[in-house]
Structure 1
Amino acid sequence: MPITIHGDASVVGQGIVQETINLYKIDGYSVGGTIRIVLNNQIGFTISKERFLRSSRYCTDIFKFTQFPIFHVNADDIEAVMFSSRIALDFREKFRKDVVVELIGYRRRGHSEIDDPKVTQPVMYHIIEQHETSRSIYSKSLIKNDIITHEDVEDMIGSYRRKLKENSFSSYGINFINDVEHPTDFKNLKIRSNSIIGVKNLQKTLQEIISVPKNFMLHPMVDKILQNRSRIATKESLCDWATSEILAYSTLLQRGFDVRISGEDVSRGTFFQRNFRIYDQIDGKEYFSIEKISNCIGTINVWDSVLSEESTLAFEYGYSLIHNGSLTVWEAQFGDFSNVAQVVIDQFISSGNKKWGIESNLVIFLPHGYEGQGPDHSSARVERYLQLCAEKNMKIFVPSDPSQIYHALLEHCCIDRDQRCPLIVFSPKSLLRHPDCLVGLKELACGRFRKVIGEDEKYSISEKIQRVILCCGKIYYELLEERNVSIKKINKTIAIIRIEQLYPFPNEELKQEIQKYPCVVDFIWCQEEPKNQGAWNYIKEYIKKVIPSYANLSYFGRSELSTSVEGDRVRYRLKQKHIVQSALTG
C-alpha cells in the first residue's frame, strides 16, 4: 500500500505532487489509492508569513481537483490522529482512491541543528516554548480518565530511554531484491541472447504482427507502413529501425520475458514509426497484434502516458525494481524532455544501486539528433548522462543501425543479475527512415550488439588509410555520404569508426579497430554537438589512451555554444556541411 509523506510547503510548492495526483486513475499507473499524510508545521522552512507559502487557504487544496477526501486533524490530539488514519485506510481499501490526512501541528526545533527559528518567528516560538508536547498532553488525558497512572507513564519513558542507551532499537537490514515478493521468479533465469533465433521465425513473427482482422479499415499511412513490413517479412526489403525494435519485443515475449513500454505517444511513436495499436477508420476499434503472436509466453503492455516526465519516469524506475526480470522501457517524446525529470535521473536512476543496493534494468529511450529544428528537441544532452557515469552504474548506447537496437534490448534482458543496470539509449529521429539505415533479417537472427563498428573490407587496406574518423550517432551517415559521393578522390584514404557504446567505454574493442591502421597519425573525433556538449569532453581521454603515442587527436564539430544548436535552419545546414567536409578534408 503506497504511503506518501508531505510537508505543508512542499505539497503545494512542488510540481511532482500534482503530477502524481493526476496519475491516480490513469491506466498503467493507478496503484489503487495512496495514503497521503501532510505534516503541516505552519512554517514551511523559515517562512515568516503564510502568504509567502501559497495562494490557497489550505496547503491541501491542491488535492481538491481530484476530489480526494481530506481530513484536517489536530496533531496534538493523538486519538483523533488514529481515528482519522483508520478512516483513511478504510476509505482507500473500499474505493481504491487517494485520501489525505493533514496533521496540523508545529515544529518545536529548528529546520536543522544550526537553525534557530526565533530569528524569523520570535512570537510563534515563544508560544511553542510554553506549549506542552503531544506526549505530555496525551499522558495527562489518560491519567485523568484513569486509563493509566503517573507511574505507568514514568515506567514507559524510563524503559524507552534504557532501550535507547542499550541500542535495542538498532536498525536491521533488508535485502530488497530477495525479501520483496516478485510477481515472477526470475532468480535462476538465464537465457543467452546470442542463441540462434532464425530468419524464418522472424519472418513468421513479423507476418503475424502485420496481420489485421478481415474488413478492418486501415488509415492510408498505417497501411503503407504495414505493406513495407510485409516486404521485409518476405525479404523483398531490408529492415528499418522500428520494425527491428518491434521484433526485439516479440523475441523477448517468445522467450518468456514480460515487456512494459511507456511514454508520450509511445504506442504510435513520436515520429509515426511504431504503430503498435492500429485503429479501424470506420468504427475506431483498436487492434493490438503483437500480443497475438505465436509462442508468446510473456505479456506486453504499451502505455501512452500523461504529459508528464518526472512522475512517469519515477514510476517506471520503481516498476523496474520489482519487475527486474522483465523489460521496462520509458521513452521521452524528444530527448530533451528528460530535462524535466533530472531529479529522478540524478537521485535514483544513476545512483540508486550504490546508495541502497537496489537493482534496476530500466531502459530509457531519448530521441537525439540535429535535424535543423532549432535548439529545442534536438539534443538529449549526452554530456549530462556521461557526467553521471561511474562505477558501472549505467550503460550509454548510441546505436546507429536497426540490428543494434534489436541486440541491445535482447542482451540487456539476458545478462546476469549482478550486472544489471539502467540502459540509456540515444535513439535516432531521421535515421528511422534513412535509406542507408537498413539491415537484413539475418543480421538480427545471427548477430550481436557491437560496441564498436569498424569499416568494411574495402577500407581494411591499412597502408592506404591516412585518416581515421571516430564518431557516434547519425553524423556517421552524413560523413559516409560526403566521403562516397562528394569527395571521391579521397574516399579510400579515410576510415570511419563508430563508437556505439559510450559507457562503459569499450577500450579493447576500439583498440582492435585502431590497430588495423598502424601508420595513421591523424585521428579525428567528429560530432554535431557543440564542443562543450556531446561526448567530446568525456571521450577524448579514453581515445588518447587507445591511439598510438605518436598520433594526434583533433576535434571537428561546433564550437562552444550556450544553446545546443543554431536556431536558423539555413545556418544549421551550412554549419553541418562545414563540419562534415572539414572532418574529411581539414
Structure 2
Amino acid sequence: MLTLLLKSRILSRWQTSSVLSSYYHSNSGVYGHRKQAVRPGQYVSNNALQNRIENSNVYRLIEAYRLHGHKKATLDPLSLQQEHDPHELSPERYGIMSGSDIIDINGLFYNNNITSMSVSDLIVQLEKQYCDTIAAEFQHLQTEEEREWFAEAFETKHDIDINDERKIDLANLMLKSQAFDHFLASKFTTLKRYGGEGGESMMAVFDEIFRCSAQAGIEEIVICMPHRGRLNFLTCLLNFPPIRIFQKVSGISEIPPGSKGTGDVVSHLYTSVDLNYEGKTIHVSFIPNPSHLEANNPVAVGKCRSKQQTLQEGDYSLTGESQQGDRTLCLQVHGDASFSAQGIVSETFCIAECPHYNVGGSIHFIVNNQIGFTTESNRGRSSLYSSDLAKINGYPVLHVNADFPEDVIKATNIAMNYKHKFRKDVIIDFICFRKYGHNELDDPSFTQPIMYNVIKTRKSIPDSYAEQIVGNGVCSKEDLAGKQQDWSKTLNENFAAVQSKPVEPYDLQRQWSGYRQSPGEVTVWDTGVNTDVLKYIGAKSVTLPEDFNVHPTIGKNHCDRRLQKLVEGEGLDWAAAEALAFGSLIHQGFNVRISGQDVGRGTFSHRHVMLVDQITDEIYIPLNNISDEQSGHLEVANSALTEEAVLGFEYGMSIDNPKSLVIWEAQFGDFFNGAQPIIDTYITSGENKWLLQSGLVMLLPHGMDGAGPEHSSCRMERFLQGCDSSETIIDGDDVNIQILNPTTPAQYFHLLRRQMIRDYRKPVVVVAPKILLRLPAATSSLSEMSPGTHFQPVLGDEKMKVDKVTRVVFCSGKHYYAIQKERDSRNIDNMAIIRLESLCPFPTAELQKELSKYPNAKEYIWTQEEHRNMGPWSFVSPRFENLVGCKLRYIGRDVLGLPAVGIGHIHQSQAQQLITDLFQ
C-alpha cells in the first residue's frame, strides 16, 4: 500500500508534459533477456552425408588434412622451421591402398569444377589446398555450420580472382612501402623506425580489408597496431602527410601552437581519415598505441562498440547483438611474441562475445616476426603457434607465408567473409621476418646469426613480386617505375618543407565538434536540476511493470524507501543521488554506461538499477523507461572478472563519444591494480600525449573498515602522484586527471552531472564510499541538487561559531564522520572541520576563503585514516604550505608497508588511537 500511495502522489503530480518538455527529450527500452544458446540447423545435405558414409575412409583422410595439414604447410619465408610430415596424413592409416579408384567427392571435398576424382588426385588436391603457403586451423570451431563453411571457403580459395589491375596495385603498394622505409633510412640514419622490411606484404592485408569493407557496406573501421610497419601504414594507405612524420623526427612538436600537450614518440602517431574504396567512403580511426604491448586491444574494441551505438547497430542497451558489425569493423594488429604472452590479449578474448562488449567479431592480424626482440619463438612461448590462444574461444586461424602476397589477399578475403557471416573473431597469422632486427639500430646477428645470414641473401618481397608480374606480362617495369618516381618526388617535396610549413592548428572534429580543451582557470558549472523533475525521475527509477515480480527485500528496502524519501525531500542516500544523476542526464539526451563486476546491483547491494524478475529471470532497467520520448539510455554492463581489458574497453568508449557518460566501478578500490597499464598509458596521459579527451569515471570503493589489506584502500596516493597539479603554481581545471573524494550524495550527484555538462572532458577518479552508502549522517536533500547548486571542492564547517575556533582540522573522505561524531559527543566548540572534496584540482582559492573565516585559529591539523605514507598527506602538505600559506601538523596512523592491517583488534585499536590523538 505504501508503494502505491507514494507512486500515486509523485507520478500524478509530476508526470506532466510541461515539467519534462521544459527539460529534455528521450527513447526507451523495456525488458532484457539473458542470452540463450542458438542451435544451428543441419548444414550438410543428406546426399553429402550419405556419400561420407559410403566413402568413410576417404572422408577420414580429408578430415585429417583439414585438421593436421597446417603442420606440413610451407609457411616460413626463411625455410628455417623444421619440416613436418605428420603421420596423420598417411593414406594407409585409413585403409586406403589404391590411388586409382574414382570416388564421388560430393560432400567430401569442395571443388567448384570437379565432382569426382581418383584418390591419388584427391591427395594432390589436399596437399595443394592444406599444405602449401597458406594453411588453416578450423576443425575446433564450435558448430558444424562454421566448420563446413570454412572448409568450403578454404578449399575454393584459388577461385578468388585477383585480376591484373589488382596485381599492379599490389606491387605498387608494396614498392611504395619499401621506398618509404628506404627514404627514412637515408634521411634519418639514427631513427628507430620499426620499418616494414621483411613484411611489406602486410599492406595487402590492410588494402583487402578496406576493399571487402566497402563491398560489405562497412562505414567505420577502428584499428589498433603496434610499432612494426606503423609509419608505412600511416603514409602509404591512410594518407597521413609524410611531412608530419619528418617534422616529428626532426624534433618539431606535433602539438600545434596554442594547444596543451607534451606529445609522444613517432611510432605512436595516429590518425582519423576518410578513405574512398570501391566508390564508397570508409572512415578509419587509427588509434594511438603506447609501448605497453597489446594494451590498445580493448581500447579499439571499446571505441568500435561506441561507434556501433552511435549507428544504432542492434539493441545495445540489452543483450541483442543481431546487427553488430554490419556497418563497423574492429581490426586488431598484433606482434607474435606479445600476442601469445601478454595477458590482456586473453582478457580481451574473454569479453569478445559477452553482452555489452560484443562488436560482432574482430579481425586479428598477427605480424609474425618469428622472434620477440632477441628471443626465438621456441623460448618465447609454449604453444606451437603464437595464434594458439585464439583456439580457446573457438576462433579460426589462417596461417600465410608473407612471401606470397596473393595468398595473403586470399587469406584476408576468407577471414573477412567468415567474420561478416558469423560475427565472430578470426585470426590471420602472417609469417614474415624482420630484415634489420627489432629496430634498425640493432645488430641482430649477435643473437640470431643463422637467421640473419639467410635474410642477407634474400631479395625483398616487393622486388620479387614486381619481377614476377613483369615476367608474367601483367605490366612493364616502366609502368611500376613511373608510380615510384611520383612517390619519391612527393617524399622529397615533403622533406624539403619540414622547417617552413607550420604544424596545423588542433581542431576537434566530427562528434567532438563544439568541445574544447579545458581552460587554465577554475570553472564552476550549475549542475542542479528542477526539484519536480528530480522527484519524477526518482519515482520512475523504482517504478516496475505490474506483472514484474520484484524481490521482497528490494521492494521494501529499496523501492518503498526511495519513494518515501522523495516525498520528504530529505535523507536521500548514495544510490538515490546516483539514480537522479543518471536519470537527469538521460533525459537531457546523454547516454550513461556503467560497467564492472556486479554493477547492476552493486558490490554492496545498494544500487539496483537493474532488477531481475524472481520468477521469469527477466531483467528490467527502470531508468530506460522514464518517458516515451527519452533519447538517452542507461547501459548496465555486468562485466567478466577482469579489470585491464574492461577498463581499456571503457576508455575506448569514452574517447569516441563525448555525449556518453562512461563509468567503470571496481569491486574494491585497489582492484584497479590489475588495470594499471591502461591507467598509466591511456587514462592519465592520453590527453597530454595525443590530445585525446576522455570523460571516463572510475569509482574505486575506499575506506579503512577493518577489511584487511586488499579491501581497504584505492591507493589514492598513486593517482595523486600521477597528476600534474603543481606544488607551487595555482592550477586551474587543466590538470590531467581529477581525484575527488565526495562525502555526500549531493556532491556525487553534481560531479557525475558535471562530467557531461562541461564543454570539455576530463577523467575522474572517485574515491568512492562503502559504509557511507547507508550511513544516516551521509545523506542529502533535494534542495542540495536544485538549480543553482554545484559540486563544491571544499565543504566548510557550518556548525561552529567562527570567533570561537582555535583549531582547524582538515580531512578528506569518510574520516570526517568519525571526527564529527566524536566532536559532538564531547561538546567541543572550538574545532572546525573542513573537508577537501577535490584533491586534484587542488582547491587553493576555496581553502584560503575557508581559512579567512577563523581569525583566532592557532593550530592547523591534517588528519586521515590512511597510513602516513599513503592517502592524501604527502600531496596536500606542500600545497597547503606553498599555495594556501598554512603549515599543517599531521595526526594519523604511522607508516606501513601495506594499506591496512589484517587483524581485527589491531585495526580497532588503531582507529581508536587515531581519534584519541586528535582530541588530546
Using the size of structure 2 for normalisation, the TM-score is 0.59
More divergent stretch after superposition (112-121 vs 256-265): 112-121
State the alpha-carbon separation in 2 of the partners of residues 300 and 13 from structure 1.
Answer: 36
Aligned to 1:499: 836
Seen in structure 2, the aligned counterparts of structure 1 residues 196 and 498 have a Cα distance that, compared at 3 Å, is: closer
Seen in structure 2, the aligned counterparts of structure 1 residues 95 and 174 have a Cα distance that, compared at 3 Å, is: farther
Aligned to 2:101: none
The DSSP-based 3-state class of the residue aligned with 2:372 is coil
State the alpha-carbon separation in 2 of the partners of residues 71 and 369 from structure 1.
Answer: 50
Task: Give the Å deviation of 1:77.
Answer: 0.8
State the alpha-carbon separation in 2 of the partners of residues 11 and 170 from structure 1.
Answer: 39
Aligned to 1:133: 460
Is the 2:528–2:750 Cα contact (8 Å) retained in structure 1?
Answer: no
State the alpha-carbon separation in 1 of the partners of residues 672 and 527 from structure 2.
Answer: 35
The DSSP-based 3-state class of the residue aligned with 2:371 is coil
Aligned to 1:26: 354
The CA deviation string for residues 119-159 of structure 1, in whole angstroms up to 9 with x for no partner, is: 11111111111122212221222132122334445555554
Aligned to 1:262: 595
Aligned to 1:206: 538
2:620 to 272, 275, 287: 287
State the alpha-carbon separation in 1 of the partners of residues 414 and 538 from structure 2.
Answer: 53
2:762 to 411, 414, 421: 421
State the alpha-carbon separation in 2 of the partners of residues 39 and 324 from structure 1.
Answer: 33
Task: Give the Å deviation of 1:58.
Answer: 0.7
Query: In structure 2, what residue type is equivalent to 1:366?
Result: L
Is the 1:163–1:169 Cα contact (8 Å) retained in structure 2?
Answer: no
More divergent stretch after superposition (121-130 vs 54-63): 121-130
The CA deviation string for residues 487-535 of structure 1, in whole angstroms up to 9 with x for no partner, is: 33xx111111000001111111111101111222311111111222111
Where does 1:48-447 land on structure 2 (aligned, <5 Å)? 49-167=376-494, 178-180=508-510, 194=526, 197-223=529-555, 224-235=557-568, 238-294=571-627, 296-390=630-724, 391-417=734-760, 420-446=761-787, 447=789
More divergent stretch after superposition (523-532 vs 499-508): 523-532
The DSSP-based 3-state class of the residue aligned with 2:780 is coil
Where does 1:418-497 land on structure 2 (aligned, <5 Å)? 420-446=761-787, 447-456=789-798, 458-462=799-803, 464-485=804-825, 487-488=826-827, 491-497=828-834
State the alpha-carbon separation in 1 of the partners of residues 527 and 400 from structure 2.
Answer: 61
The CA deviation string for residues 364-417 of structure 1, in whole angstroms up to 9 with x for no partner, is: 111111110110021111011111212511211100011100111112211123
Seen in structure 2, the aligned counterparts of structure 1 residues 169 and 267 have a Cα distance that, compared at 3 Å, is: farther
Query: In structure 1, what residue type is equivalent to 2:372?
Result: G
The CA deviation string for residues 218-268 of structure 1, in whole angstroms up to 9 with x for no partner, is: 323212222211221221861111111111111111222221111111111
The CA deviation string for residues 160-185 of structure 1, in whole angstroms up to 9 with x for no partner, is: 44433332799998999744457xx8
Provide runs of 4+ in structure 1 moved above 3 Å: 149-163, 168-182, 185-188, 294-297, 545-548
Identical residues among aligned pairs (%): 37
Is the 2:337–2:377 Cα contact (8 Å) retained in structure 1?
Answer: no
Aligned to 2:892: 557
More divergent stretch after superposition (512-521 vs 204-213): 204-213
Higher relative contact order (CA 8 A, sep 6+): 2
Aligned to 1:46: 374
Aligned to 1:515: 852
2:342 to 11, 14, 31: 14
Is the 1:186–1:325 Cα contact (8 Å) retained in structure 2?
Answer: no
Aligned length: 570
The CA deviation string for residues 262-307 of structure 1, in whole angstroms up to 9 with x for no partner, is: 1111111010011112222222232221111136342221111111
Seen in structure 2, the aligned counterparts of structure 1 residues 177 and 399 have a Cα distance that, compared at 3 Å, is: farther
Is the 1:317–1:362 Cα contact (8 Å) retained in structure 2?
Answer: yes
The DSSP-based 3-state class of the residue aligned with 1:365 is strand
Task: Give the Å deviation of 1:547.
Answer: 5.0
The CA deviation string for residues 318-353 of structure 1, in whole angstroms up to 9 with x for no partner, is: 111221122111111111111111111111111111
The DSSP-based 3-state class of the residue aligned with 2:430 is strand
Is the 1:494–1:584 Cα contact (8 Å) retained in structure 2?
Answer: no
Aligned to 1:527: 864
Tell me, yes or no, if structure 1 residue 584 matches structure 2 residue 907: no
State the alpha-carbon separation in 1 of the partners of residues 686 and 497 from structure 2.
Answer: 23
The DSSP-based 3-state class of the residue aligned with 2:869 is coil
State the alpha-carbon separation in 1 of the partners of residues 608 and 884 from structure 2.
Answer: 44
Task: Give the Å deviation of 1:70.
Answer: 1.1
Task: Give the Å deviation of 1:211.
Answer: 2.0
Is the 1:336–1:376 Cα contact (8 Å) retained in structure 2?
Answer: yes
The DSSP-based 3-state class of the residue aligned with 2:849 is helix
Using the size of structure 1 for normalisation, the TM-score is 0.92
The DSSP-based 3-state class of the residue aligned with 1:455 is coil
The DSSP-based 3-state class of the residue aligned with 2:568 is coil
The DSSP-based 3-state class of the residue aligned with 1:529 is strand
Is the 1:510–1:546 Cα contact (8 Å) retained in structure 2?
Answer: no
Is the 1:263–1:330 Cα contact (8 Å) retained in structure 2?
Answer: yes
The DSSP-based 3-state class of the residue aligned with 1:167 is helix
State the alpha-carbon separation in 2 of the partners of residues 281 and 177 from structure 1.
Answer: 51
1:4 to 332, 335, 340: 332
State the alpha-carbon separation in 2 of the partners of residues 348 and 314 from structure 1.
Answer: 8
Task: Give the Å deviation of 1:362.
Answer: 1.3
State the alpha-carbon separation in 1 of the partners of residues 504 and 400 from structure 2.
Answer: 33
Seen in structure 2, the aligned counterparts of structure 1 residues 170 and 429 have a Cα distance that, compared at 3 Å, is: farther
The DSSP-based 3-state class of the residue aligned with 1:376 is helix
Query: In structure 2, what residue type is equivalent to 1:455?
Result: D
The DSSP-based 3-state class of the residue aligned with 1:35 is strand
Computing the radius of gyration over CA atoms, which structure comes out larger, 1 or 2? 2
Is the 2:809–2:862 Cα contact (8 Å) retained in structure 1?
Answer: yes
State the alpha-carbon separation in 1 of the partners of residues 892 and 459 from structure 2.
Answer: 67
Task: Give the Å deviation of 1:20.
Answer: 1.3
The DSSP-based 3-state class of the residue aligned with 2:348 is helix
